Structure 1
Amino acid sequence: MKKIIHVDMDCYYAAVEMRDFPEYRGKPLAVGGSRERRGVISTCNYEARKFGVHSAMATGYALKLCPQLILLPGRMELYKAISQQIRAIFQRYTNKIEPLSLDEAFLDVSACDLYQGSATLIAEAIRRDIWAETELTASAGVAPVKFLAKVASELNKPNGQFVITPEQLPHFIAQLPLHKIPGVGKVTASRLAQMQLYTCADVQRFPEYKLVEIFGKFGHILHQRAFGIDDRELTPYRPRKSVGVETTLARDIFNLEQCRQVMQGLIKELAGRLQRHTHERQIGKLVVKLKFADFRQTTIESRASTLSPQMLDSLLAQALQRAEGRGIRLVGIAAGLVTNHTGDSSAYEQQLTLNI
C-alpha cells in the first residue's frame, strides 16, 4: 500500500505578503490584477474569504463584496524562489515528487524510513520544516492514493493535516460527497444529483456501464474513485502541453480590426516564449481564445506546425463570429506542443496572463 502526502500551502501568495508586511495581518488581503484593468484575484487570505472573495473572481466584484480589501499586484519571482525552497525540503524526504503548482505537490513517501516510515509523522515534519525555514504554513493530506490525499489536505486548513489510513478508507470513501472528487465540477455534480447520486456510496450501488454511457471514460474513473481506487503513479516531470498568452482589456472591443491589433502584440510575446520550448518540442496546433463581456468564453483551434499569423487571424475571425454582438474583454492565443519523437501532447499546461 502506498503512502501519499499532498502538501498545499495556505493562501500562498497572500501569506508571503503578510509575512513580509505584518501590517497586513488580520486584514482582508488579495493578490491580483487591478480593478481598472479588469483583473482577477489570484489568491486571497482567509479574512477576505469570509466576505465571499475567492481566486479567479473578478477584482471589481471582489471589491464590491469587500470594499476594505487590500489589493496587491504580487511578486511572482519571489513566490517562485520560495517555492524552490519548499521543493528542497520535500527532497529531504523523497525524490518522488509531483508538483502541481508553485504552492502544492504530491509526495510518495512509501520508501522513506524516516520517523519509522510513518507518513503521518513525515507530513508533520515537512510542515514544521516549511514553517521554520519560510515562516509560512502548509496543510497536508495523507492517504494510500493520490486523489484522497488531495481531498484530505482540504479538511483541516489552514495549518493542519488529515490522515486517511487504509483501514479508515472504506468508511471515509462511502460518506465522501461526489463534488469533493477532483474532476467533478459543478456541471457534473448537478448531473449526478439529477440521477440521485450524491456520495460515493451511491455510486458504489450504481451500475458502472450506465456511468460510462452517460459520462464516457470519466464514468469509469468516477466508479473507481467511488471505491477509493486510484492507481496513478506520481509524475515527477510533466512536459508542457502548450504555451499561451492572453490579455484582459481595459475596455471591451467589438470588431475584427481591434482584435487584430491586440493579437499582434500577443504573437510577439508568444514567439519569445516559444523560443524556450520549441528546441525540444514542436508546435502541433494553434488556439485562439476570446472571453466576452458576459464572461462566457470560446476557443477555436487548428492543426499547425509553425506560429502562423495567417492561421491565427483565420481562427480569430471564426471565434469572433460567436460573439453575437457581445463585446470582447479578453483575447488569448496559444501553441499546443508535441514531443518530436512521440507526438504526445498529454501534459501540463501553463499560460502567461497579461493585463493591459
Structure 2
Amino acid sequence: METPGRPRKIIHVDMDAFYASVEQRDNPELRGLPIAVGHGEARGVVAAASYEARKFGVHSAMPSVTAKRKCPELIFVRPRFGAYQAVSQQIHAIFAEYTPLIEPLSLDEAYLDVTENLKGIGVATEIAEEIRGKIKARTGLTASAGVSYNKFLAKMASDQRKPDGLFVITPKNGPAFVEALPVKKFHGVGPATAERMHRLGIETGGDLKACDLAFLQQHFGKSGPYFYWIARGVDERRVKPDRVRKSIGAEDTFSADIHDFETARSGLQPLIEKVWRYCEVNRIQAKTVTLKVKWGDFTQITRSKTVTAPIASAGELADVAMLLLSPLFPVAKGIRLLGMSLSSLDSASIEDKHQLAFAL
C-alpha cells in the first residue's frame, strides 16, 4: 500500500525498435542493416524501423515509398505479429517477478509501480537494471527504462538514453527537467497540439508553466489541467494493472484499389484473424464491430454493428464484418484501405464467450 506523502517509484520500460529488433535477432543476415518492418509496396507503411534505418530518417507510420527514397538500401520485412506477441509475453513475465502493478501500453512498453515490490528492493533504479538484464538474457533484446516518481516523468526518462539506456528523474530535479524540455517532446502533446502551443508562444515546459490554468483550459479544453500540472512535474495518475483498451483493430492499405466484393472479402479476412487472435490471447470479448473503408480519393467511411451477445469466434466476427461490407457493393470508386476494429470490450474467458453467446 502506498504511504501518504511518500513519493512513488515508477518504471517505464520501452523495448528498443521492438519489431525490427526481433527480426534482426531471428535472422542474423539482417543484423547491422537498415530494415523496416512492413509492406514495401507503393502504398505500404513502415510499422517499425531498425536503428540503422532511423539514421536515414526512416520511422514508423512513414509511407514505404518515402522510406525507400530516404534510404535506398532499406530492406522490408513482412511483420510476424505472432512472434512479437510471444516475446512480449516473455517480457511481461519478467515484470511480474517484481510487481503485480503492471500497466501495458502496447506489446513493447509498460509502466510498473515498484514502490512496494515482490523482492523487497528499496531502490527502483536497481530493479530497472535487473529487469533490463533479464530481458537481454532471456530474449536477446535490449530495453530502455525510465525511473521517476510519476508516470509522465518515467515515460520522458525512458526516451533520454535510447537505445539500451537507463535514465532517472528524482523528485528534486523533476521540475527543472520539465521546464527545460521542449513541449513537442511531451508525452500527450501531438504535432497539432505542439503547433498550437507554438503559435501561443509556448516552446518549453517553462513557457507552459508560466500559463495559468484558466488560459490552458481556454485553449486546450479538458487537457488544460493535465498540461498545467505536468508543467510542474506533477502527475497523480496511478499505474492501472486492470487497464482495458477501449478498442482493438487492424487495417491494411492495398497495392491496387479494390473494386469487387470477393477481393475485398479476401483482403478483410487477415484483419479479422489478427483481431480475433488478439482477443483470444488476451481473453477479451467484444460486442461492437466497426468496418473502416478508405476510398481511392482518400475519403473514408465507417460502418458499425453492435450485437446482443459477445462475439464467440472468428467465424462469427467474419459474419458480422460481411454484413457491414456487402451493402457497399457495387462500389462507385475503388477501395484503397480496409480496417476492422472491435469495441465495447471486456475481459472474459473464451469458454465464457461461448456460454454467453448460446445463453442469448
- TM-score normalized with structure 2 length: 0.79
* Alignment of 1:23 onto 2:26: no
Equivalent residue for 1:182, pick from 176, 180, 187: 187
Q: Which one-letter code corresponds to 1:262 in the other structure?
A: A
Partner of 1:205: 210
Deviates more, 1:25-34 or 1:158-167: 25-34
Aligned to 1:66: 71
1:22 deviates by 2.6
Q: Which residue of 2 aligns with 1:32?
A: 38
Match of 2:316 in 1: none
Q: Distance in 1 between matches of 2:179 and 2:213?
A: 16
Greater shift in the superposed pair: 12-21 or 148-157: 12-21
SS of the equivalent of 2:344 reads: strand
Aligned counterparts of 1:104 and 1:268: Cα–Cα separation in 2? 25
Secondary structure, counterpart of 2:188 in structure 1: coil
Structure 2 residue aligned with 1:94? 99
Q: Report deviation, 1:160.
A: 0.5
Question: What is the CA-CA distance between 1:82 and the residue it aligns to?
Answer: 1.5
The answer as to whether partners of 1:289 and 1:297 remain within 8 angstroms in 2 is no
Residue 262, structure 1, aligned to residue 264, structure 2: yes
1:243 CA drift (Å): 4.3
Partner residue in 2 for 1:12: 18
Which of 290, 293, 311 is matched with 1:290 structurally?
Answer: 293
Task: Give per-residue Cα distances to partners, 1:32-80, cap 9 Å, x unaligned.
Answer: 12316x3221111111011111111122221121111122113322221
- Residues 89 and 334 of structure 1: CA distance in aligned 2, closer, same or farther (over 3 Å): closer
Report what 2:86 is aligned to.
81
Q: Deviations over 1:150-189 (max 9, x none)?
A: 1110110011111001111121111122122222111110
Partner of residue 330, structure 1: 337
Q: What is the DSSP-based 3-state SS (H/G/I as helix, E as strand, rest coil) of the residue aligned with 1:228?
A: coil
Q: 1:310 to 1:47 in 2, by over 3 A?
A: closer
Q: CA deviation at 1:193?
A: 0.7
Partner residue in 1 for 2:3: none
Separation in structure 1 between the aligned mates of residue 267 and residue 25 of structure 2, nearest angstrom: 36
**Alpha-carbon deviation of 1:293?**
5.0
- Cα distance, 1:268–1:83 mapped onto 2, change above 3 Å: closer
Task: Indicate the residue corresponding to 1:231 in structure 2.
Answer: 236
- Give, in whole Å, the separation in 2 of the partners of 1:85 and 1:339: 24
TM-aligned CA deviation for residue 217 of structure 1: 0.4
Query: Could you tell which deviates more after superposition, 15-24 or 303-312?
Result: 303-312
Structure 1 partner of 2:139: 134
User: Residues 240 and 337 of structure 1 are in contact (CA less than 8 Å); yes or no, is this contact kept in structure 2?
Assistant: no
Q: Is the 8 A contact 1:289 1:300 kept in 2?
A: yes
Q: Distance in 2 between matches of 1:31 and 1:269?
A: 17
- Preserved contact between residue 245 and residue 266 of structure 1 (Cα < 8 Å): no
Query: 1:301–1:74: structure 2 CA closer, same or farther, 3 Å change rule?
Result: closer
- Deviations along 1:257-310, one digit per CA (max 9) or x if unpaired, are 647962686389649956958x975535x544334557x564545674464866
Q: Distance in 2 between matches of 1:71 and 1:272?
A: 20
Which consecutive unaligned segments of at least 5 residues does structure 2 have? 1-6, 309-319, 348-360
Residue 251 of structure 1 and its aligned partner are, at CA, apart by: 1.1
> 2:198 aligns to what?
193
Aligned position for 1:347: none
Amino acid of the structure 2 residue aligned with 1:26: G
The 1-side partners of 2:266 and 2:76 are apart by 30
Per-residue deviation at 1:149?
A: 0.7
Structure 2: distance between partners of 1:75 and 1:338: 25
Q: Given residue 151 of structure 2, which amino acid in structure 1 is its aligned partner? A: K
Counterpart for residue 148 of structure 2 = 143
Shift of 1:143: 0.8
Bigger Cα displacement from structure 2, 176-185 vs 240-249: 240-249
The Cα offsets for residues 226-276 of structure 1, whole Å up to 9 and x where unpaired, read as 1122111112133342344433222135xxx64796268638964995695
Q: How many residues align?
A: 327
In percent, how many aligned pairs have the same letter?
A: 44
- TM-score, scaled to structure 1: 0.80
Distance 1:271 1:23, change over 3 A: closer
Unaligned runs of 5+ in 1: 341-356
Where 1:94 maps in the other structure, the secondary structure is coil
Q: In structure 1, give the amino acid aligned to 2:343.
A: G
